[in-house]
Amino acid sequence: MSTNCNIPAITPDELVKLGLKGITAAILECKRCQLHENATNKVIMRGAETPKVLFIGEAPGKNEDEAGIPFCGRAGKVLDELIAYMDLKENEYAIINTVKCRPPNNRKPTQKELKTCRPFLLAQIELLGPQVIILLGNTAEQAFCVSALDWGEAIATPEGKHLIKLYHPAALLYRRSLMEKQREMIDMNKGLWQNTR
């Protein structure tokens, strides 16, 4: 069993200096927590490098671990439906996760794991530079936010970005009744990305 107690801390600012390719290399080499031990592939991102909208999910699942691509399984199909409903073009969005390795048995990442991977998350957000950040579920919110958000209610950050918390696509798989509510939340906020075209 490995430990990260002797690994020096890394900051988002240090990572930002590396650029997106450098962050990808750092993630691939990362052994800061035990999640890397059982990972088939690190799952870094998919989508545009200058997105208007950035989706942040919880953690890679089985399909993502095998492919190395976020949201490529059943929940990914639901997310793709939502992206189509949002009328986002391929060059207008990107998708990342709070942690880059699959937790065993698809469990939620622990607070320690979220904290360990947070510098990568923050550096990715800064370099991707989205106008809108969509947090998919409570774990994404916990990894990124200091205080709780209301579902579907956009708030502005001091940097001029907008944060929105939506249901995680996996939740919609099991409760399709939430899809209508999710679409209502999207309709309420679509001006944030459509008005800047």
Residue 196 burial (10 A CB sphere; 0-12, 13-18, 19+): exposed
Entry pTM: 0.93
Give the tens place of pLDDT for each residue, 163-191: 999 999 999 998 988 999 999 999 999 99
Angular region, 137: left φ>0, alpha ψ -120 to 50, beta rest? left
Quick check: helix, strand or coil at residue 112? helix
In a domain, 35, yes or no: yes
CB 141 within 8 A of CB 164: no
In a domain, 137, yes or no: yes
**Structural domains counted in the chain:** 1
- Give the C-alpha distances (Å, rounded to integers) separating 74 from 53, 61, 79, 137, 187: 21, 10, 9, 16, 24
Give the tens place of pLDDT for each residue, 72-125: 999 999 999 999 999 999 999 999 999 999 999 999 999 999 999 999 999 999
In a domain, 4, yes or no: no
Q: What is the CATH number of the domain that holds 109?
A: 3.40.470.10
In a domain, 7, yes or no: no
Residue 11 has pLDDT above 90, yes or no: no
CB 49 within 8 A of CB 92: no
CB 182 within 8 A of CB 82: yes
